[in-house]
Every structure is written in C-alpha cells, then in structure tokens.
Amino acid sequence: MPRNLVGYAVALVALAVVAWTVRSYFGAGGGPAGGLGGGPAMLAGAPAQSYEVKTLSGASGSLQSYRGHVVLVNLWASWCAPCRSETPALQELYRRDRSRGLVVLGIDQGESSAAAAAFAKEMNLSYPILVDEDQQYGRAYAAVGLPTSLVVDPTGRIVRGIDGELTLAQMQAAVEPLLSGGS
C-alpha cells in the first residue's frame, strides 16, 4: 500500500506540474515595468530619462539638474513650424510661473548650438535651452513628432506626455495640479 501511495503521489505531482506548465503560457504575470513605447502619452508614471548634453553657452546640462522643480520639457527644432508657433506661449508660461517653482526646459533636437541660439535670440527666450544633437531625449521620450512636451514632477517622474502643439491654457492646465501641490 505505501508503494501505491508513492506512485499516486508522483502521478499527482506530475499532473500538477503539467497544469502549472500549461498555466505559464497564459499571461506571463507580473507585467512589464517602466514606461512603454507607443508615444509620449504612454510614458506617464515612468521615470524621466536624463542625458548630459550642451547648453547654449557650450556648458554641460541635463534634465537631472532641475530635480526638485516642476519641469515642462519641450522638444523642438527651429525648422518645425508648430514648435515656432507655440514658443511664445512657453515663454509666457515660464514668465508667469517661474516664481512658483516651474521650469520650462526647451531641448533642441538634432541641430547645432548655433541654430538653437539663433532661434532663442529671435524668439527672445529666457527659459533654459539644451542642445541635443544626438536626439537622445527624443528617442527616450517616444516622440512621434515635434513638438513633444512632458510634465515632470519634482521627484523626476513623468506625469504627462503630450504630442503636438499646445496653447498657453493647455500648458497651464498640465502644470497647475503640480504647482498647486496636487499630483
């Protein structure tokens, strides 16, 4: 009888393993971690990647330098017409809310420092500009076009990713919850 019991136990374990094996093919479980591809909107909740690139003065700068602030990251290029048309609103937002802890960070995608500096001078920009010649931020933020904007909270987490041109009201609505202490 004990010998039969051992046999049944082995058969039962074998069946359980087979069931366990079959189950492993239906949903790997756990789910992926971090942000996923498919446009900037999918990045909400993911940590904002930061890369060292040049500033307009030729020094080194990155998004990381603004940790502790609410940051509106704006990816742009001087040849991009919608970027050009939304820039005055970005400058106005920065002027209004800078004192409340907001940083507008413009990151030029793929152009030379000279091109970015000429654009900043032409548009009379006072917010910080980074020059990302290798387009690292654009790739990391799943940009599907320009402009692309991201709202990053003081802990360095992406709250929203937005594809396309924004109005001043839309920018304000995107950053206001963080500036007023919400999430």
Partner 1 sequence: MPFDPSSGSGLRATGATANTVLALGTAAAGILLVLAQDVTPAWAGYHTWQYSAALGIAAVAVGGYALGARRGDDGELGMRLTFAMTGALVIIAAGIASGLLGPDTETVQRAPGTVAPLPDVGAAAFFPVAGPASIAAGDATVSLRRRSAPELEIAPGGRQFVGATVVEAVSKPAAYVEARDQSGAHLTITQPTNPSFLSPVLLFPQQVPLANAVLPADAFATPALHRQIKAFYFSKSASAAARTHGFAGREALLFAVDDDSGKLIPGGIGFAANGQGVDLGGVRLRPTLGSYPALVISAVPYPPALWLGAALFLGGLGYGFVGNQLGGFPRKRPIFSQSSEQASEN
Told to check if 27 binds partner 1 by CB under 8 A, we report: yes
Which DSSP symbol is given to 66? Answer: G
Among 5, 34, 58, 181, binds partner 1 (CB under 8 A): 34
Q: DSSP string covering 97-119, please? A: HGGGTEEEEEEEES--HHHHHHH
Report the alpha-carbon distance of residue 94 to residue 9 in Å, rounded: 71
In the region spanning residues 96 to 125, those forming contacts with partner 1, defined by CB under 8 A, are 109-112, 114-115
Told to check if 84 binds partner 1 by CB under 8 A, we report: no
Residues whose CB falls within 8 Å of the CB of residue 170, separated by 6 or more in sequence, listed in order: 162
For the bound state, the minimum distance from the C-beta of residue 97 to partner 1, rounded and expressed in Å, comes to: 27
For the bound state, the minimum distance from the C-beta of residue 117 to partner 1, rounded and expressed in Å, comes to: 11
Q: How is residue 139 written in tokens?
A: 């790739």
For the bound state, the minimum distance from the C-beta of residue 5 to partner 1, rounded and expressed in Å, comes to: 13
Report the alpha-carbon distance of residue 130 to residue 52 in Å, rounded: 9
Told to check if 183 binds partner 1 by CB under 8 A, we report: no
Element (H, E) at 11: helix 2-23
Told to check if 142 binds partner 1 by CB under 8 A, we report: yes
- Chain residues in the site for partner 1 (CB under 8 A): 3, 7, 10-11, 13-14, 17-18, 20-22, 24-38, 49, 51, 75, 77-80, 109-112, 114-115, 133-136, 138-140, 142-146
